[in-house]
């Protein structure tokens, strides 16, 4: 280690959805090439690493806010890039998988400066998913068909609430809800399948689970039940839009990579709807999966289901029967979709939603981010985006685009809730 070389990163501890503002290295030999690396471990035990090589200036300093690396996993002058450009360490051939983060345990990232493969300085930054101390309260629940975790500010309420819905992986995601609570919301990470006593498969899920969730929230002193939004991503985006169209208590909807239609449930065998209402099947569109995609699945290869959904759209004789009545949403709508989403044609779906709202003269605003080149937008801001999740392809383009879009649109969603919910 060198006593002269110093790493200055500010803030050294911060909320996980906030940027790094300062990242400087000083005390280096002038005009000398150095490597900067960041390492951390996700909750699946996978080690992730990012790196970049830089040339120090005549004063022996490097300022990553102004200086792009000569080479490395990130290619822009952005201190936060060293976070979202991380890749599984030692794996340079396989597509980038999901960064596993399901709890609110702080994430420690070790940053080092190396010269000729020798570490000359290192430090650790900490990314937290909740405010410091007792400012955010965590309250788990698993009773009477309500499974999830409520996060809410310790300050006197009641607070506007956001119900957070996960995607087709099921269960619930605490970090997103905890981050929203740090911004002043009572955020409820609510499961609709795959947790507690709920159904194990995403097939014919009764939408009435939201009634139980709303009822439980209504008994909580921290929640203002006149200001409730629903936020979902992927299949949870489809569900968020559907719930918003069915329940007037929901006053705003945010959907990342969602759908304008109800689609079949995700299980093998005879297809059925993803959802039921009042014991009856919600009308749905079936996927039309090509034989070669089925063959790939049986071989354990990665597949893109986008074509299966596109073929399903073309095969339908009456799309309107399965269309989500988004014009019935009792509040503003926030949409994010990438044009290179390989799970399903999310941008086409979002186009349809925006057009339907316009045709029906929906009285509330629609904030729509149609992001060129972005893939399936389901990762958290400032964490690496994924190319694949198990055998499912998320994008065919550079995931740097998706990572940058995720940061921008998460911030935009916070602004959306600030404008229309508080």
Could you tell me if 80 and 11 lie in one domain?
A: yes
Check residue 360 and report its DSSP letter: T
Q: Which domain holds residue 18?
A: 6-128
> At 293, which helix (H) or strand (E)?
helix 291-298
Q: What percent of the chain has pLDDT over 70?
A: 99
Cross-strand bridge partners of residue 367: 334
Average pLDDT in the 47-69 region? Answer: 96
Sort 191 into a burial class: Cβ within 10 Å, 0-12 / 13-18 / 19+. buried
pLDDT tens profile 235-247: 999 999 999 999 9
pLDDT at 396 over 90: yes
pLDDT digit string, tens, across residues 243-268: 999 999 999 999 999 999 999 999 87
pLDDT digits (tens, 9 = 90+) for 348-388: 999 999 999 999 999 999 999 999 999 999 999 999 999 99
What is the phi-psi region of residue 31: left when phi exceeds 0, alpha when psi lies from -120 to 50, beta otherwise? left
How many domains, the chain?
2
Give the mean pLDDT of the chain. 96
One domain, residues 97 and 155? no
Are residues 183 and 43 both part of a single domain? no
User: Which of these three, 86, 108, 128, is where a domain ends?
Assistant: 128
Sheet holding 275-277, edge to edge: 205-206, 275-277, 280-281
Instruction: Say if residue 132's pLDDT is above 70.
Output: no
Rounded to two decimals, what is the model's pTM?
A: 0.96
**Based on the domain organization, do 187 and 90 belong to the same domain?**
no
**Cα 58 from Cα 187, distance rounded (Å):** 49
CB burial of residue 283 (10 Å; 0-12, 13-18, 19+): middle
Same domain (yes/no): 41, 155: no
Cβ–Cβ < 8 Å for 178, 187:
yes
Q: Is the domain of 324 the same as that of 175?
A: yes
pLDDT of 136 > 70? The answer is yes
Of the given ranges (132-136, 235-239, 384-388, 406-410), which has the lowest mean pLDDT? 132-136
Are residues 166 and 22 located together in one domain of the fold?
no
What pLDDT was estimated at residue 308? 97
- pLDDT value, residue 203: 97
Q: What percent of the chain has pLDDT over 90?
A: 92
Tell me which of 54-58, 297-301, 333-337, 361-365 is least confident. 297-301
Boundary of a domain, candidates 70, 104, 128: 128
pLDDT at 393: 97
User: Does residue 29 lie within any of the structural domains?
Assistant: yes
Please check whether residue 1 lies inside any domain of the structure: no
Report pLDDT digits (tens) over 159-212. 999 999 999 999 999 999 999 999 999 999 999 999 999 999 999 999 999 999
pLDDT, tens digit (0-9, with 9 covering 90-100), for 158-167: 999 999 999 9
Say which CATH number the domain at 395 has.
Answer: 3.40.50.1820
The reply to whether 205 and 337 lie within a common domain is: yes
Q: Is the Cα dihedral 297, 302, 304, 307 positive or negative? A: negative
The pLDDT value recorded for residue 133 is: 57
pLDDT at residue number 134: 60
Residue 65 CA to residue 56 CA, distance in Å, equals 14
Shared domain check, 144 and 101:
no
Confidence of residue 422 (pLDDT cuts 50, 70, 90): confident
229 within a domain of the structure (yes/no): yes
Residues sharing a CB contact under 8 Å with residue 421, sequence separation 6 or more, in sequence order: 160, 162, 185, 227, 229, 251, 252
Identify each DSSP E strand in 12-135 by its residue range.
Answer: 13-15, 22-26, 33-41, 47-55, 62-63, 71-72, 87-88, 107-115, 118-128
The residue from 128, 153, 177 where one domain ends is 128
CATH number at residue 16: 2.60.40.2240
DSSP helix/strand/coil, 37: strand
pLDDT reported for residue 1 = 58
Residues 354 and 211 grouped into a single domain:
yes
Are 74 and 400 within 8 A, CB to CB?
A: yes
Residue closest to 253 by CA, chosen among 368, 123, 99: 368
Q: Where are the beta strands (DSSP E) in 204-359?
A: 205-206, 223-233, 250-256, 275-277, 280-281, 333-338
Mean pLDDT of 138-158: 95
pLDDT: is 4 or 202 the higher one? 202
Do residues 259 and 407 both lie within one domain? yes
Sequence-distant (6+) residues with CB within 8 A of 329 are 241, 244, 245, 250, 253, 362, 364
Structure tokens at 210: 């939201």
The pLDDT value given to residue 75: 82
Same structural domain for residues 113 and 140?
Answer: no
* pLDDT(328) > 60: yes
Residue 368 and residue 336: Cα distance in Å, rounded?
A: 6
Position 10 in a domain: yes
Among candidate residues 150, 153, 146, the one with its CA nearest the CA of residue 138: 150
């Amino acid at each position: 280690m060198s006593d002269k070389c110093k790493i200055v990163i500010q803030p050294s501890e911060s909320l996980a959805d906030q940027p790094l503002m300062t990242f400087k290295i000083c005390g280096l030999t002038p005009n000398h090439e150095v490597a900067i690396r960041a390492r951390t471990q996700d909750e699946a035990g996978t080690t992730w690493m990012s790196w970049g090589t830089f040339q120090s200036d005549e004063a022996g300093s490097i300022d990553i806010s102004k200086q792009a690396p000569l080479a490395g996993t990130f290619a822009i002058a952005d201190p936060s890039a060293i976070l979202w450009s991380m890749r599984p360490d030692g794996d340079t051939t396989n597509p980038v998988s999901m960064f596993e983060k399901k709890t609110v345990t702080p994430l420690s990232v070790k940053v080092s400066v190396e010269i000729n493969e020798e570490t000359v300085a290192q430090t650790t930054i900490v990314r937290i998913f909740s405010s410091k101390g007792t400012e955010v309260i965590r309250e788990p629940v698993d009773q009477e068909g309500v499974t999830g975790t409520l996060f809410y500010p310790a300050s006197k309420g009641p607070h506007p609430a956001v119900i957070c819905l996960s995607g087709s992986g099921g269960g619930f995601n605490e970090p997103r809800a905890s981050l929203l609570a740090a911004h002043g919301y009572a955020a409820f990470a609510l499961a609709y399948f795959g947790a507690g006593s709920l159904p194990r498969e995403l097939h014919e899920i009764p939408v009435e689970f939201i009634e139980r969730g709303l009822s439980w929230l209504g008994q909580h002193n921290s929640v203002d039940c006149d200001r409730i939004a629903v936020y979902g991503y992927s299949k949870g985006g489809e569900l968020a839009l559907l719930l918003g169209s069915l329940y007037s208590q929901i006053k705003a909807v945010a959907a990342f990579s969602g759908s304008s239609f109800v689609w079949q449930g995700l299980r093998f065998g005879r297809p059925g709807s993803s959802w039921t209402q009042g014991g009856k099947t919600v009308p749905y569109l079936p996927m039309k999966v090509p034989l070669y995609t089925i063959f790939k699945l049986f071989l354990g290869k990665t597949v893109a289901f986008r074509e299966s959904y596109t073929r399903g759209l073309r095969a339908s004789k009456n799309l309107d029967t399965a269309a989500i009545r988004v014009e019935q949403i009792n509040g503003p709508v926030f949409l994010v979709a990438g044009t290179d989403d390989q799970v399903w044609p999310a941008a086409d779906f979002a186009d349809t939603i925006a057009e339907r709202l316009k045709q029906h003269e929906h009285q509330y605003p629609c904030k729509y981010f149609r992001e060129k080149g972005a893939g399936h937008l389901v990762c958290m801001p400032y964490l690496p985006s994924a190319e694949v999740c198990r055998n499912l392809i998320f994008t065919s383009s550079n995931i740097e685009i998706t990572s940058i879009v995720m940061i921008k649109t998460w911030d935009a969603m916070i602004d959306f809730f600030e404008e229309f919910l508080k």
